């Protein structure tokens, strides 16, 4: 009796996982319009003061990964999250751009700058079926603020599966800093 119940739960869980995978695979990536609509409660008006501080983040992401010595390609959904870590100031996002393995811009996700409320977040989603980025895709996020601000937290979550095996991993954004002679 216990074995039958366990098998029933496994089948129900497997069915739910397949249904979720199909739904997620058919989902479209965010666009400039949907970010402003989907995250309206995370946004605030643009600051009237001049933007005195700015920075950029580079976030490596993987919409596809080669496995089994290159004989198998596994596709991943990607969720880029941009968090305003400040408790007091809005964070202005000037650019969220998605690039492919060759460095060609695939898509730009902002028509114009937006301001995130303190401690708020926005996300950009790339569906599993969208493999335009390839194995070396990346995002660049340009941000600004009116004064001193906690550094934003920018990271990407990749989720995918091969048969019954599921994979999930995070890639943290890195500030883009100019490195040269001292």
CATH architecture classification, 29-175? Sandwich (2.60)
Residue written as token pair 């601000």: 149
Please give the Cα distance from 135 to 62 (Å, whole number). 5
Please give the Cα distance from 49 to 105 (Å, whole number). 31
As a dihedral over the C-alpha atoms of residue 123, residue 127, residue 131, residue 137, rounded to 10 degrees, the angle is: 20
* Number of helices and strands in the chain (H, E): 2, 12
The pLDDT, as a whole number, for residue 72 is 83
Rounded to 5 degrees, what are φ and ψ at 43? -100, 155
pTM for the model stands at 0.80
| pLDDT tens, residue by residue, 115-128 | 999 999 999 999 99
| Mean pLDDT (whole number) for 96-119 | 96
The helix (run of H) or strand (run of E) holding residue 76 is: strand 72-83
Domain regions of the chain by residue span: 29-175
């Amino acid at each position: 009796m216990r074995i039958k119940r366990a098998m029933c739960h496994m089948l129900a869980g497997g069915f739910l996982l397949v249904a979720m995978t199909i739904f997620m695979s058919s989902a479209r990536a965010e666009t400039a319009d949907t970010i402003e609509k989907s995250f309206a409660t995370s946004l605030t008006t643009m600051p009237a003061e001049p933007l005195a501080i700015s920075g950029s983040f580079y976030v490596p992401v993987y919409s596809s990964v080669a496995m089994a010595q290159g004989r198998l390609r596994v596709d991943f959904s990607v969720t880029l999250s941009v968090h305003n870590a400040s408790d007091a100031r809005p964070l202005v996002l000037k650019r969220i751009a998605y690039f492919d393995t060759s460095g060609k811009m695939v898509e730009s996700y902002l028509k114009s700058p937006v301001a995130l409320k303190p401690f708020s977040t926005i996300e950009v989603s790339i569906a599993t079926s969208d493999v335009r980025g390839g194995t070396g895709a990346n995002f660049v996020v340009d941000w600004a603020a009116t004064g001193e601000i906690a550094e934003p937290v920018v990271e990407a979550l990749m989720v995918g599966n091969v048969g019954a095996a599921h994979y999930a991993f995070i890639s943290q954004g890195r500030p883009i800093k100019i490195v040269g002679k001292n």
